[in-house]
Every structure is written in structure tokens, then in C-alpha cells.
Amino acid sequence: MGEKQLPVAIKRVQAEFAEWRASKSGRERIPDRLWAAAAEAARRHGVHAVSRAVRLEHSTLRRRVEETATFVELDGLSAAEKVGCIVELEKGNGTRMRICVRDGASVDWSRMKEAFLGA
């Protein structure tokens, strides 16, 4: 992906990192706010694209994205029980898992999430 083809979100993070790198002194750690911005961009546009554009270690960014993955818990299954339950999980690298069940109450969702995300 060329410089001109980068999505706006990646260009924004790239500019934030460039500004921070220009003003930092020595070997400062990357601030959490910049990691969060990079992880958010990576969730939408892929870890590879962001790590390359921002010059971050791929595996470190991937881990940050996976650490911030969210799990949505549905309260009450009355509506879902009639048509079944569909749950989709997505990792920051774009890997997706879709689960379709008739009885969502019979599934250990926490264990499914942990197995998928490697937590």
C-alpha cells in the first residue's frame, strides 16, 4: 500500500507518531495514547498496514490489538432464543469467528472468547 493510498486513520496515527518521535528525548517509551490510536487503526485496517506505516514492531502491535479486543455480552436471550443466536468475534488482524447456535444459554461464551483470542 503506497503512501498516497493509506486510509485517513492510518495517516493520522502516522502523523501523531512522527510528531512524538520528533519531540521525544532519548529512548522514551511509546505513550499509551499512541499505542491505543495505533491499535484502533489496526483493528479497522489491519496490523500489517499500520505497523508498516507507523514503523512499529508487528507482533507488539498485534498483541496490543488482541489485548483490547472486546466481548459483547447480550443481556437476556428472549429475542435470540426464537431465531437462535449468532455471535461474531474478530481479532485485530482481521481473523473472524462466527458462531451460530439455537440455544445461546448452553454455550460457555467466556471460554469461546478465550480460546479464540488466546487469552
Q: Cα separation of 88 and 69, whole Å? A: 12
My answer on whether 47 and 27 are in the same domain is yes
Residues 52 and 9 in one domain: yes
In a domain, 72, yes or no: no
Q: Which three cell numbers stand for residue 82?
A: 426464537
Same domain, 56 and 17: yes
Q: What would the pLDDT profile of 17-40 be if each residue is shown by its tens digit?
A: 999 999 998 889 999 999 999 998
* 91 domain residue, yes or no: yes
CA dihedral 13, 16, 22, 24 (to 10 degrees): -110
Give me the number of domains the chain comprises.
2
Q: Count of residues for the chain? A: 119
Which residues span the domain enclosing 110? 78-117
**Does 97 map to a domain?**
yes
Q: Quote the CA–CA distance of 106 and 97 in Å, as a whole number.
A: 18
Contact 91, 117 (CB under 8 A): yes
Residues 9 and 50 in one domain: yes
Q: Note the pLDDT tens digit of each residue in 54-98.
A: 999 999 999 888 876 665 555 555 544 555 777 777 776 677 777
Residue 16 and residue 54 in one domain: yes
CA distance 95 to 101: 20
Residues near 73 by beta carbon (within 8 Å), at least 6 away in sequence: 109
The verdict on 13 and 42 lying in the same domain is yes
pTM of the predicted model, to two decimals? 0.58
Do the domain assignments include residue 42?
A: yes
